[in-house]
Amino acid sequence: MIKPHGSDELNPLFVYDSTANEALHKEAEGLASVLVSSATAANAVMLGAGYFNPLTGYMNKADALSVATDMKTTSGLFWPTPVLNLLQDAGSIKAGDRIALKDPNVDGNPILAVMDVESVEEFTDEEIALISENVYRPGAEEAHPGVDAFVAQGKVCLSGPIQVLNFSYFQSEFPDTFRTAVEIRNEISERGWNKIVAFQTRNPMHLAHEELCHMAMDRLDCDGLVIHMLLGKLKPGDIPAPVRDAAIRKMVELYFPKNSAMVTGYGFDMLYAGPREGVLHAVFRQNMGATHFIIGRDHAGVGDHYGAFDAQTIFDNDVPEGALEIEIFKADHTAYSKKLDKVVMMCEAPDHTKEDFVLLSGTKVREMLGNGIAPPKEFSRPEVAQILMDYYESIK
């Protein structure tokens, strides 16, 4: 099986030993505690689940700035985005303290992790701007939800290793879908898969997404597909995770051969960082055991902040040779061809005009679903459309 990023073995930071976990919970009750941001909590979940391998905790200022500018830590580890614990105010917390991190996303704010604080530092406004510009490339045309969420956390940075005690709300709210990188690796091994392609989604999958997965599996001669859903915080208007989950499971049940696809999810807040997040997504998938990862048009984008294929070209221009073992399957926009009576990559149909494809904007699709009108079968499977129409009807 493909090696995880940066080490020979996966090193999740979750404390699996029940006795040790219970002892840490008890210890944490007597420690100074901080209520962390949703982004910091999501980082803890990803560290605990092994997706952030080989990191041992939150980055310090020097590493964060090095990652933002050069996509590597000060020790030379390739990494595309800062992994931080940012606060508005650290109060009396100082280097050398052992503290408890409290979860902002669960009622009662339970202890999420225990942290050994190695440094307490503060970013300047200029350094925050540098990270925002290099990681998110926001431009000045419109607001950027990723930058807004990043800046809102604060400028005080706590760095150091953590021990993760639970997976926040992800395990309880999505018991059939949330999986750690450890669990996905184990299931891949149990299924006997050797070549695995992963597909990232934060939206329901329409016919074009489904066919893109089939294309990738066929062209790469893969043993299996891992559909990997983002289960964390999205932007307003996005389809809730349980609805996406139901729609995707129905699609796999009806339109994929048995035992050819796994439906899974992971606990992370979307960054909307375009190309940098595309690289981060590749790291996740290598750590969970995938050998290939589909990156299509406008991957992890938002608005008009990025070019359509920036998340592909970053692998050619900015990711050093050998930095990652996972391979990228580059995909164009896929759509149903009226001429060929099937879904194709638009770049592979040079004799087509726009009118030869069934193309619907996201706004148009949401409008149709909200009015109880199923999109055409060339755009969406009717069973998937019904689940989405039921959702829109429920929120009227």
Positions marked catalytic = 202-203
For 241-261, give the DSSP string. Answer: HHHHHHHHHHHHHHHS-TTSE
Q: Identify which of 48, 61, 4, 70 has the alpha carbon closest to the alpha carbon of residue 161.
A: 48
CA 135 from chain center: how many Å?
A: 15
Burial code (b: 16+ CB inside 10 Å, e: under 16) for 276-315 equals bbbbbbbbbbbbbbbbbbbbbbbbbbbeebbeebbbbebb
Contact 260, 225 (CB under 8 A): yes
- The 8-class DSSP code of residue 388 comes to H
Cis ω for the linkage preceding 54 (within 30 of 0): yes
Please provide residue 308's backbone torsions phi and psi, each rounded to the nearest 5 degrees: -55, -35
Structure tokens given for 138? 């926001």
> In the chain, what is the straight-line distance between the N-terminal and C-terminal CA atoms, in Å?
47
Identity of the amino acid at 160: G
Contact 70, 202 (CB under 8 A): no
Q: What angle do CA 298, 302, 307 make, to 5 degrees?
A: 40
- Please tell me the distance from the alpha carbon of residue 346 to that of residue 230, in angstroms, as a whole number: 26
Structure tokens given for 313? 């070209």
Q: Identify which of 267, 50, 44 has the alpha carbon closest to the alpha carbon of residue 169.
A: 267
Please provide residue 201's backbone torsions phi and psi, each rounded to the nearest 5 degrees: -150, 145
* 199 strand-pairing partners: 227
